[in-house]
Amino acid sequence: MSRSTAGLRTLLDRIFADGIVEPAEREELTAYRSDLSTEDTVRVFREFVGSKWGEAVSDGVITSTERALLSRIVHELALQLMDLPHQARHALRDDFH
């Protein structure tokens, strides 16, 4: 049974709703990654980060909590700096080693 990109997005929303990624959630994420094409997976990841970035900047201020969540998402999804929205690249560039 193939997993869908919509299912992946739902999973991402659920995983990062509380900011804690549980081992079972990591396993589920790994299963999606193996079932979907790399292109589809990266597209969904980018859209998700873009959405979270939009939420973070909607009030004009990025709090330390929002920044920590964005950084956690980026690292957990193994994204590269170029995968982030342009403004997020600047704001989070120090989080990349």
Q: CB within 8 A of 57, min separation 6: which ones?
A: 87
| Prediction pTM value | 0.86
- Please tell me the predicted confidence (pLDDT) of residue 19: 82
Question: 């920590």: which residue's tokens?
Answer: 68
CA atoms within a 13 Å half-sphere pointing along the CA-CB vector of 47? 13
CA dist., res. 84 & res. 86, Å (int): 6
CA dist., res. 63 & res. 88, Å (int): 13
pLDDT averaged per 10 residues in sequence order, the chain, 97 residues: 82 92 93 90 93 92 90 90 84 74
- Please tell me the predicted confidence (pLDDT) of residue 80: 87
- DSSP annotation of 95: G
- Please tell me the predicted confidence (pLDDT) of residue 2: 55
- Please tell me the predicted confidence (pLDDT) of residue 1: 41
- Please tell me the predicted confidence (pLDDT) of residue 94: 77
